[in-house]
Structure 1
Amino acid sequence: MNSQLIGQDLTLAAEEQDAGAPACVLSFNASDPTGASGIGADIATIAAMGAHALPVVTSILVRDTAEIFEAHELDSEAVVDQARSVLEDATIASWKVGFLGSAEGVSAVAEILSDYTDVPLVSYLPNLSWMDDDAQMAYLDAFRELILPATMVLVGSHNTLTDFLLPEWDAERPPSARELAVAAAEHGTDYVLVTGVQLPDQFIDNVLASPQGAMCGERFERFEASFVGAGDTLSAALAAILSSGTALDVAAAEALSFLDQALDAGFRPGMGGVIPDRFFWALPPGEEPPEGPAPEESVDLLDDTVPPLHSRNVH
């Protein structure tokens, strides 16, 4: 066989391999040494959903499974260089934005996103109460101005999104998911996925909404545990499902179902919170996660700042 034919065979083989390759999801997030949140959570979740993660580290968290002690932001040029190098090599099908480290990091990431406006972006806004007040304000202002206009779906807990999008809200009732979506739309975001909406019974609601109203949702029975990494898990799952071309409402329902089961199988590796088991589906048949004694109180699923309970009881 001559060299020309060999080259043609290799090209055909590469094309066949690419056709069956998983979709690539580029994630901007912090490095979390516990693996509970941040880039480690994104990699595990995206892989569990059948896509391939392209992880770009934006900062380094110093934390355990109970709390965040401090964060060390990376130089914005280092963040840009990481992203540009892989973007020049691989084709991405969706983005995931998590914690970007600082207002400068937000600006750097926004510049990259602006070159790929046709790629769907899922942005997760965690609870940042652990940050210095001035740094937090600068970060949120930059996120609001630069990331929201590029965002397809903004994910966050009801409390966090209310404080961020409707800081002057003074009605006796909490804002609805639609009202949060209207506020997000004023900054250019198409949809919100709001979690932890309190219901009068033993359930909480999780709602995907546009400014026109709720599109889909899923109610969870209250989880009586302190979780770490639930928000990153949900948003990364949504980004991974969207990378396959799935319709948004279907993707949101699948992502919520995945989170529910991952929390149900969660485990406690240390003395702090419970980490979602993103590979719950890989447990041997008939094997169930252990359950602990009765819990003390219920907490917000996506609030990583709540103090840990002494018992582990997961749904």
Structure 2
Amino acid sequence: MNERHQRPCVLVFAGHDPSGGAGIQADIEAIAAQGAHAVPIITALTVQDNNRVHAVYPVSTTILREQFDAVFAQLPIAAIKLGIVGSYDNAILIADCISKIRQRQPDLCVVLDPVLASGHGDALSVQDPLYALRPVLACATLLTPNLPELARLVPNEASDSNEYQRAETLCHQFSCDVLLKGGHAHGDVVSNHWFQRQFAPTLSIQKTSWHWPRLDGEFHGSGCTLAAAIAGRFALGHNAPHALSLAQDYVQQCLRKAYAIAPGQAIPSRSLFQGAV
């Protein structure tokens, strides 16, 4: 019998969106499109459609722990993607789970999409989302904030300068890289900026930018899709420049082919298979 091809696993902690546009479904589809396999643990059940979030119900930490213990005992985890945590207690537990994996995989990549609100500003946690997220911020190797999220993560009193300097502050504060997404800016071009920590000869921050044509309309789950695609690329063993480039190109294609399920935000067409390029 032929030996089966083994896909690398991406452990995902994220919420469930019953509209299917964002959250854990977006993560599963985007990770599969890269050629990796998603191992999804649902942190919260949400009440939402493709435009608004109406309620969030965190999953109990007991259930999260039991699910993690089961998959950790059997499955090799190649990367982690984090979305909404739902509650501070969940974040504490998730941080502990990551620490447990890193005891045997110190270089494990953790991509954190710091979702603090929906696209229309609806809360995605039973507590203040920034408070609930803090225990896992220190676990990330890459943060993927948009401009409003960056402003909340690094408020005015912490930085009186522009978004580039705020992103550098975030790098130093949590000892991680930052991919700053420019979708909330204005103009015909969307610019994403990667702030990468360099350690030779001394610690410094290097900025790399990508520029994409702005597409018409609004999209539901584009941030989830990007962070999950990056995690999938890391799981395949790609280095950061390659992973970020391929993931952004994939998302741009998903947005170009986005489809409607109802009036309002469109759904990225994540079924476009990228494979291990």
Shift of 1:150: 1.3
Q: AA paired with 1:272?
A: G
| Cross-structure match for 1:63 | 48
Q: AA paired with 2:143?
A: L
| Cross-structure match for 1:97 | 82
Q: Is the 8 A contact 1:217 1:253 kept in 2?
A: no
Q: Report runs of 4+ in structure 1 exceeding 4 Å deviation.
A: 197-201
Q: Is the 8 A contact 2:17 2:48 kept in 1?
A: yes
| Cross-structure match for 2:163 | 175
Q: Secondary structure at the match of 2:7?
A: coil
User: C-alpha separation between the residues in 2 aligned to 1:239 and 1:133?
Assistant: 23
Which one of 13, 22, 25 corresponds to residue 7 of structure 2?
22
User: C-alpha separation between the residues in 1 aligned to 2:237 and 2:125?
Assistant: 39
| Cross-structure match for 1:87 | 72
Q: AA paired with 1:27?
A: V
User: C-alpha separation between the residues in 1 aligned to 2:185 and 2:20?
Assistant: 31
The 5 A counterparts of 1:63-142 are: 63-117=48-102, 118=106, 119-128=108-117, 129-131=121-123, 135-136=127-128, 139-142=129-132
- Residues 169, 182 of structure 1: alpha-carbon distance in 2 compared, 3 angstrom cutoff: closer
Q: Secondary structure at the match of 1:77?
A: helix
2:185 paired with 1:193: no
Q: TM-score, normalised by structure 2?
A: 0.87
Q: Is the 8 A contact 2:43 2:64 kept in 1?
A: yes
Structure 1 unmatched ranges of 5 or more: 1-9, 283-315
2:245 paired with 1:253: yes
Q: AA paired with 2:77?
A: I
| Cross-structure match for 1:239 | 231
Q: CA RMSD in A?
A: 2.3
- Residues 114, 37 of structure 1: alpha-carbon distance in 2 compared, 3 angstrom cutoff: same
Q: TM-score, normalised by structure 1?
A: 0.77
Q: Secondary structure at the match of 1:93?
A: strand
Aligned pair count reads: 261
Q: Secondary structure at the match of 2:40?
A: strand
User: C-alpha separation between the residues in 1 aligned to 2:19 and 2:157?
Assistant: 35
Q: AA paired with 1:241?
A: R
User: C-alpha separation between the residues in 1 aligned to 2:60 and 2:125?
Assistant: 21
| Cross-structure match for 1:43 | 28
Q: Is the 8 A contact 2:86 2:126 kept in 1?
A: no
Shift of 1:78: 0.7
| Cross-structure match for 2:200 | none
Q: Secondary structure at the match of 1:84?
A: helix
User: C-alpha separation between the residues in 1 aligned to 2:125 and 2:98?
Assistant: 27
Structure 2 unmatched ranges of 5 or more: 198-203
